[in-house]
């Protein structure tokens, strides 16, 4: 299971294909750090990604700062219109700290994005400068059971790096600041593109729709169930909606992706609604998932889910029928590891 610890350097190094050679200082050689392209980041958080594959630890191309600035390296591009990954890639590569930050950004439910912004806004100025971002992102990345050490040298290295993310957020001269709205927009743009790229993994003919069987394959991909069980579940859905069935649109796919990305929120809401332990019906589930995502969940998506998971066909979905799918989905992408947790007394968010 390559995603058991999403922010491990081993996983990062498996997908990162460039060894960045920094400027030398004095008689010593410059710092050497592994870096990845934005599409390699997508591959790292997408199980069995068909667009790019990991190159393997120790396999890399050496690249200098001058070569990056002169755009002498070939970088795969995203097909998504107005791609934020392409905009970042035009400005440089992604460091390990960038990688961990982006996973954290994706795995933070939208309702808590302001909390994450406040974590980076160390001075409380309602904006984040590059020093604040470098300080917090380095602490997030280099930790083992807690925040690691951080020195002025770490900050200087981070601020001087050729990070495409830093260039995108703070400008090449690092003289820009990120407001709360900028921070929210980055999450929205990034998550929207990740969703569309995942959808395109199945929408081979660019029709704007995928089959119900493709949708449940997406849900169960890298789930911890046997291949035989997975095939039986997919067949159950496929028998109800053959290949030319109604299908799932990109809009419906996107709305439910937000539900999955906020999986813990869905789990918590189901627990409080179903205190009797009798499960929830389709309308109750639709309302809960719409609350989690902040968008109206498609009736058809709910129908597909119940066909997939309601094995006893009692028209009610139990927590133990849904929770394993949610946990496997978030675990396979590292969202369970990347989220920021806030404790308020006995309450943990």
The pLDDT, as a whole number, for residue 188 is: 93
State mean pLDDT over 306-320. Answer: 82
Question: pLDDT band for position 306 (50/70/90)?
Answer: very high
* Tens digits of residue pLDDT in 28-87: 566 778 899 999 999 988 878 777 776 766 778 888 888 888 888 888 899 999 999 999
Task: Give the 3-state secondary structure percentages of the chain, helix then strand then coil, rounded to 5.
Answer: 55, 10, 40
| pLDDT for res 184 | 95
User: What does the DSSP assignment read for 309-322?
Assistant: H-TT-SS-B-HHHH
Rounded Cα–Cα distance for residues 194 and 243 (Å): 25
Q: Is the pLDDT of residue 4 over 50?
A: no
| SS3 assignment, position 177 | coil
pLDDT at 299 > cutoff 90: yes
Which span out of 3-12, 140-149, 218-227, 292-301 was modeled with the highest average pLDDT? 292-301
Dihedrals phi, psi of 343, to nearest 5 degrees:
-110, 130
Residue 122 to residue 128: CA distance in whole angstroms: 8
Q: How many residues does the chain have?
A: 349
Residue 216 has pLDDT above 80, yes or no: yes
Give residue-wise pLDDT tens across range 86-139.
999 999 999 888 998 998 898 888 888 898 999 999 999 999 999 999 888 887
What is the rounded average pLDDT for all residues in the chain?
82
- Smallest Cα–Cα separation from 48: which of 201, 210, 200? 201
Q: Answer yes or no: is pLDDT of 2 > 60.
A: no
Percentage of the chain with pLDDT > 90?
36
* Nearest in space to 38 (alpha carbons), one of 91, 82, 70, 85: 85
Answer yes or no: is pLDDT of 193 > 80: yes
């Amino acid at each position: 299971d390559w995603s058991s610890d999403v922010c491990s350097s081993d996983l990062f190094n498996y997908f990162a294909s460039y060894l960045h050679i920094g400027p030398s200082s004095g008689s010593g050689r410059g710092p050497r750090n592994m870096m990845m392209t934005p599409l390699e980041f997508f591959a790292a958080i997408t199980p069995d990604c068909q667009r790019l594959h990991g190159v393997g630890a120790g396999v890399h191309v050496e690249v200098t700062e001058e070569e990056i600035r002169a755009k002498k390296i070939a970088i795969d591009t995203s097909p998504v219109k107005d791609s934020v990954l392409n905009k970042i890639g035009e400005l440089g590569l992604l460091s390990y700290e960038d990688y961990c930050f982006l996973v954290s950004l994706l795995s933070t439910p939208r309702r808590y994005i302001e909390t994450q912004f406040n974590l980076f806004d160390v001075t409380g100025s309602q904006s984040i400068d590059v020093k604040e971002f470098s300080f917090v992102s380095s602490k997030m990345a280099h930790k083992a059971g807690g925040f690691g050490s951080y020195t002025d040298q770490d900050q200087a290295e981070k601020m001087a790096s050729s990070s495409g993310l830093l260039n995108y957020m703070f400008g090449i001269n690092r003289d820009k600041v990120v407001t709360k709205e900028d921070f929210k927009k980055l999450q929205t743009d990034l998550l929207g593109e990740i969703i569309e790229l995942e959808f395109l993994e199945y929408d081979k003919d660019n029709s704007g729709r995928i089959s119900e069987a493709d949708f449940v394959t997406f849900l169960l991909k890298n789930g911890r169930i046997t291949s035989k069980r997975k095939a039986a579940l997919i067949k159950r859905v496929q028998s109800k909606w053959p290949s030319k069935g109604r299908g799932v649109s990109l809009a419906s796919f996107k709305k439910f992706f937000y539900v999955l990305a906020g999986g813990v929120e869905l789990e918590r809401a189901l627990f409080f609604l179903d205190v009797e332990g009798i499960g929830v019906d389709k309308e109750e589930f639709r309302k809960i998932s719409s609350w989690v995502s902040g968008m109206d969940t498609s009736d058809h998506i709910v129908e597909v889910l119940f066909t997939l998971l309601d094995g006893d066909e009692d028209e009610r979905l139990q927590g133990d029928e849904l929770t394993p799918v949610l946990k496997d989905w978030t675990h396979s992408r590292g969202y369970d590891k990347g989220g920021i947790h806030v404790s308020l007394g006995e309450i943990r968010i």
